[in-house]
Amino acid sequence: MGITQPSKLIGSRKIRLDLEATERKLRDKTLELEQAQEELAAQAEDKIRLETRLRLLEKAVDTVNMGVTITDLQGKIIYVNPADARMHGYAVEELIGQEARLYASKAVRTETGGDPAEPWVRRRIDSTKDGQPFPVRLISDRVHNTHLQPMATVTICEDIREQEHIREALVRRDNILKAVGLAAERLLTDASWEESVEEVLERLGRATGVDLIYMSVVKEDSPFTTGSAILSWTTPGGDVEERFRQGLGLPDRIELFACWKDRLVAGQTLQGRVSELPDRERDILDAWGVRSFAVVPIFVESNLRGYLSLEDGDDDREWLSVEIEALKTAARTFGASIMTWQAKLKIALSEEKYRDLLDNATDLIQSVSPDGRFQYVNRAWKETLGYSDQEVQQLKLWDVVRQQPSEEDDVVQSILSVDGQGPIEAIFVTRDGAEIFVEGSINSRFVDGLPVATRGIFRDITDRKLVDRMKQEFISTVSHELRTPLTSIIASLGLLDSGRMSGDPERMQELVAVALRNSNRLLQLINNLLDQQKLEDGKMTFKDEHVEIVPIVRETLDDIRSFAEMLNIELSLDVADENLCARGDHDRISQILSNLLSNAIKFSPPGDAVTISCRGERNRVVISVSDNGPGIPLDFQGRLFEKFTQFDASATRRSGGSGLGLSIARGLAEGMHGRIVLDEEVARGATFHVELPSTLPIAAE
């Protein structure tokens, strides 16, 4: 039966409607695909930019001197920088995939890590590829994802061999000074001079750990070629002791001195490895099994009357300057004792020479009675603390020694103790109230079994304390400033890499923005470190050009305005003269102002304002940055422009900060023949003035 005409029309219309609907769906899907393709292209472009910044960051980490390793949760190395590989004697590619415990020395038991949930600092003995152990200081921290789950461990490794050598040398120095302090009086007054010398040589030998120590002297009227008297001490049971006791090679010793005499007469100290000596000198000492040596001249009234020789069979024995200086003190004491030995009838004069020796010593030397009164202080003590002879007579020990609240032991009582102590640290207070950190050793003098004086030898270690503090602040600051943004970057990339965000483009864009922002933060920290190093090395370049000041100020305000708005801070500009001009570098001036404005914004309370003003004063242009924050205490202003110095760590941590901004700003200003000063008369907040040499406006020129 055939289909009627109306039925055909209805079927044709339905087919046409279906085709139109399908075509609309196809167009919609095509449009959706085009939009998705555009989003993917944008994400790919952002990823390329992020990867470029990460490569720059990795290159920067690759160039630092400290070792950096990143290990996974199984302890396997997934990243190591070249400094760490070099430190351990490996190539970088040899370490990737290896377990981090590969570093640990097999010969020495090492410390384990701390609480994995917190950053931890520790010392450890590592081993090089060829099995040589060496000490390191480690700073480790876990990196977590956004769910606070551990992902990896970042460890900064510092080779502290040189520090350990210095520490060991300081210990030997203190032992030497203690030995000299204990024996000095006996050397100068005891009738049995030779026995006293041998006792002191034994103390010095044990203090320095050498195999052989001897002192060669002659009578005042004898030539220094024959008739030398040699007093010695050797490590019991050693080969050097046996050879020395047999008297082998003494003529060779005289020949050796002939090679050294001119240098010793000139006051030079000789020290080093025997292998580095000329052939004949090396052969003589090789025959004795000596591999390392130190020779200190002994003078009596500016005339060379002997020498103190320390010899060791260890080729790796090093002689640091602090140890040599202590040996020079010992040599000076020996010189005074030789003079006493050669002139027994001049005991009174000898005592004066001893006092002169102490007065001319660079260390702070004092003698204190049991009731705390000063019996004697040397010239260095008086000059360092600023007291006259008359004022010292009125002082007592507790007038110049400051007790710290954190100290459990009474420092004053420790200094007055009849038991020899060393090393001991204390804080001396100068006449004008300044504090000086000192380190030294003490011993007591007895008469009829009762203590009559406590003597101390101290050395000013204030600079060393400052260096230690700055180093700790540097490590703490850099580790924090590296760890915080690096954690955010790794977490953001981890989420992107997992694919879980593929259905949420807005969230993916937020993660990319977080990674980019933290990459910029890391790059800024590295730039600050590089700028500081360039300034210290004198390698920072400056353009000497005619610049208009107000446009630079406006540009800088525009650049930093978003940061101010984020912290709800208003920026205002007060210009007295739109035509202010100066000699300088456009970019460096902008960098100075950015640092000052950034600090002012961070330290201002929300809702407040930061003002920048410009004015001309005679032959200079003054740009002032003012805030209404907490201000800067008087006791901190002296350290304001030092490296890694931060007044309020909590405030700077809020927005990040390395403590380098003001130091760099001052260096840049001085490089353009200007300066930065803090206005000390401001009642509230802080105001910094940038002063630059002015020039006439371009139209006037």
Query: What are the tens digits of pLDDT across the range 425-467?
Result: 888 888 888 888 888 887 777 766 676 777 788 888 877 777 6
What share of the chain in percent tops pLDDT 70?
69
**169 versus 235: which is more confidently predicted?**
169
pLDDT of res. 108: 43
**227 versus 497: which is more confidently predicted?**
497
Q: Give residue 375's identity as a one-letter amino acid code.
A: Q
Does residue 53 fall inside a structural domain?
Answer: no
Does residue 90 fall inside a structural domain?
Answer: yes
Same domain, 198 and 105: no
DSSP 100: G
pLDDT of res. 613: 92
Q: What is the CATH number of the domain that holds 488?
A: 1.10.287.130
pLDDT of res. 109: 44
Does residue 436 fall inside a structural domain?
Answer: yes
Query: What are the tens digits of pLDDT across the range 641-677?
Result: 776 666 554 444 445 555 677 877 888 888 888 898 8
Does residue 657 fall inside a structural domain?
Answer: yes
Same domain, 111 and 81: yes
The mean pLDDT value for 164-173 works out to 77
Same domain, 191 and 300: yes
Tell me the helix, strand and coil percentages in the chain, rounded to 5. Answer: 50, 25, 25
Same domain, 549 and 683: yes
pLDDT of res. 471: 66
Backbone dihedral angles phi then psi of residue 273, each to the nearest 5 degrees: -95, 140
Does residue 536 fall inside a structural domain?
Answer: no
Which whole-number Å values give the CA distances from 63 to 122, 156, 259, 476, 485, in the listed order? 24, 14, 46, 20, 19
Same domain, 103 and 233: no
- Of 115-129, 283-297, 473-487, 524-538, least confident by mean pLDDT is 473-487
Rounded CA-CA distance 487/250 in Å is: 68
pLDDT of res. 254: 73
Q: What is the CATH number of the domain that holds 686?
A: 3.30.565.10
pLDDT of res. 698: 46
Same domain, 489 and 376: no
The residues, any chain, with a CB within 8 Å of residue 130's CB and separated by 6 or more, are: 89
Same domain, 137 and 191: no
DSSP 563: H
Query: What are the tens digits of pLDDT across the range 1-35?
Result: 454 566 666 677 777 777 777 778 777 777 877 78
Query: What are the tens digits of pLDDT across the range 361-392?
Result: 888 888 888 888 888 888 888 888 889 888 88
DSSP reduced 3-state for 617: strand
Angle at 422 between CA 421 and CA 423, to 5 degrees: 150
Q: Give residue 194's identity as a one-letter amino acid code.
A: E
pLDDT of res. 416: 55
Q: What is the CATH number of the domain that holds 134?
A: 3.30.450.20
Query: What are the tens digits of pLDDT across the range 592-608?
Result: 888 888 888 888 889 89
Does residue 356 fall inside a structural domain?
Answer: no
The mean pLDDT value for 41-64 works out to 61
Strands 212-217, 303-312: pairing is: antiparallel
622 confidence band (pLDDT: 50, 70, 90) = very high
**450 versus 245: which is more confidently predicted?**
450
Instruction: Supply the mean pLDDT for the chain.
Output: 76
Q: Is the pLDDT of residue 97 over 60?
A: yes
Q: Is the pLDDT of residue 227 over 50?
A: no
Same domain, 127 and 190: no
The mean pLDDT value for 478-484 works out to 59
Q: Give residue 76's identity as a one-letter amino acid code.
A: K
Q: Which of 168, 161, 140, 164 is nearest to 88 (CA)?
A: 161
The mean pLDDT value for 407-432 works out to 65
Backbone dihedral angles phi then psi of residue 271, each to the nearest 5 degrees: -155, 155
pLDDT of res. 610: 92
User: Which of 324, 348, 372 finishes a domain?
Assistant: 348
Q: Are 170 and 322 in contact (CB under 8 A)?
A: yes
Count of CB atoms situated within 10 Å of the CB of 329: 23
Q: Give residue 253's identity as a one-letter amino acid code.
A: R
521 confidence band (pLDDT: 50, 70, 90) = low
The mean pLDDT value for 90-97 works out to 90
Q: Which of 362, 255, 264 is nearest to 305 (CA)?
A: 264
User: Which of 530, 558, 574 finishes a domain?
Assistant: 530
Same domain, 626 and 679: yes
342 confidence band (pLDDT: 50, 70, 90) = low
Q: Angle formed by the axes of helices 462-498 and 5-63, to 10°? A: 160
DSSP reduced 3-state for 184: helix
CA gyration radius for the chain? 37
Does residue 54 fall inside a structural domain?
Answer: no
639 confidence band (pLDDT: 50, 70, 90) = low
The residues, any chain, with a CB within 8 Å of residue 135's CB and separated by 6 or more, are: 123, 124, 125, 126, 159, 160, 161, 164
Q: Is the pLDDT of residue 612 over 90?
A: yes
Q: State which H helix or E strand residue 22 sits in.
A: helix 5-63
Q: State which H helix or E strand residue 36 sits in.
A: helix 5-63
Q: What is the CATH number of the domain that holds 170?
A: 3.30.450.40
Same domain, 304 and 406: no
Angle at 51 between CA 45 and CA 56, to 5 degrees: 130
What residue numbers bound the domain in which 40 lies?
Answer: 1-46
Does residue 701 fall inside a structural domain?
Answer: no
pLDDT of res. 90: 92
302 confidence band (pLDDT: 50, 70, 90) = confident
Same domain, 523 and 434: no
3-state secondary structure 498-511: HCCCCCCHHHHHHH
DSSP 427: E
pLDDT of res. 650: 44
Same domain, 398 and 520: no
Q: Which of 81, 82, 77, 83 is nearest to 95 (CA)?
A: 77
Reply yes or no: is the peptide bond before residue 423 cis, omega within 30 of 0: yes
Q: Which of 674, 677, 573 is nearest to 620 (CA)?
A: 674
- Of 95-109, 264-278, 415-429, least confident by mean pLDDT is 415-429
pLDDT of res. 514: 64
Q: Give residue 664's identity as a one-letter amino acid code.
A: I
User: Which of 158, 176, 201 finishes a domain?
Assistant: 158
| Tokens matching residue 229 | 């008297």
Domains held by the chain: number: 6
Q: Is the pLDDT of residue 534 over 60?
A: yes
Q: Is the pLDDT of residue 638 over 70?
A: no
The mean pLDDT value for 514-526 works out to 65
